[in-house]
Amino acid sequence: MKNRTNILALVTPMKLNGSVDYISFQNLLSVYKKSIDTVLISGTTGECSTLSLYEKLCLINHARKRFKNIMVGCSYHSTKQSITFLRKARSMGVTRCLLTPPYYNTNSDRDVVAYYHYIATRANIKITIYDIPSRTGKELGIQTLRKLSNIPNVDSIKESSGNLRRQLDITKGTKLHLYSGDDSTCALSCILGSYGIISVISHLFPDLVNHMINNQSIYIQNSLFNLNKLLLSPDYPNPSSVKWLMYKNNLIHSPHVRSPLQQPTQSHKSILIKEYMHITKWKTYALC
């Protein structure tokens, strides 16, 4: 499969006072328009849990002026809030959302299927399931995924565990289109049949990631491995590290992240820079 999709899980730039930096956001959209086909607004990397409804809609409004393909993250505790947000996003031209299973509440598989069905039949938007047990506390079994794939508008899944056996089970055992949510294993995911990647490291190396997924390049995947691990370190949760590198590369005006996230320590920043510079030195050769 050629021309796999690189979906950029876009950061939400912040000013030092914590407000959204819409000027930096517009600049990012212009930069990534050259190499990215689809952007994800208000995902985990976009600090969705800290954004108000108004801020999310403002971000969508800016994005739709530059991108035809926009996905929005939707992870509310309230089903009613999810539907309200998705209806507003749909009215602005958004055609797809990334939807986690309900979290915090302890939900049975039956509850999860009912939740997706309820939203899918009321929001009139394509749904990509966001399977991320580390954040929701629940892994969706293959039988549950089969049931979800029979719901109108539920047609794909972002699988973020990096578990390749599980990804193979999804591609062979369900009708869902698989998208990798793990930059560090995405070339292998493409070999297993994934349709692309929802990526964080593409903020820094979009062309490398495009080349990697369309050529199933294990060499590029392995070369980016250390930086990917640094960007998603549990000690420095995403997006604090990628924002800091973007700031150092003059892509955003401030590396600010909203509480409860914190800036990386000075020692972590030094390691990030070292690994980033290592990659920039050989990336031209990798694309040859």
Which are the catalytic amino acids? Answer: 130, 158
* Cα–Cα distance, 136 to 111 (Å, whole number): 14
Nearest to 103 by CA among 94, 114, 112: 112
Q: Tokens for 184? A: 């560090």
**Distance spanning both ends of the chain, measured CA to CA:** 20
* Cα–Cα distance, 176 to 201 (Å, whole number): 25
Q: How many Cβ atoms sit within 10 Å of the Cβ of residue 134?
A: 9
The helix, strand and coil proportions of the chain, stated in percent and rounded to the nearest 5, come to 50, 15, 35
Whether the link from the prior residue into 255 is cis, omega within 30° of 0, is no
Is 16 within 8 Å of 258 (Cβ atoms)? no
Whether the link from the prior residue into 260 is cis, omega within 30° of 0, is yes
Is 84 within 8 Å of 47 (Cβ atoms)? no
Is 202 within 8 Å of 228 (Cβ atoms)? no
Is 160 within 8 Å of 129 (Cβ atoms)? no
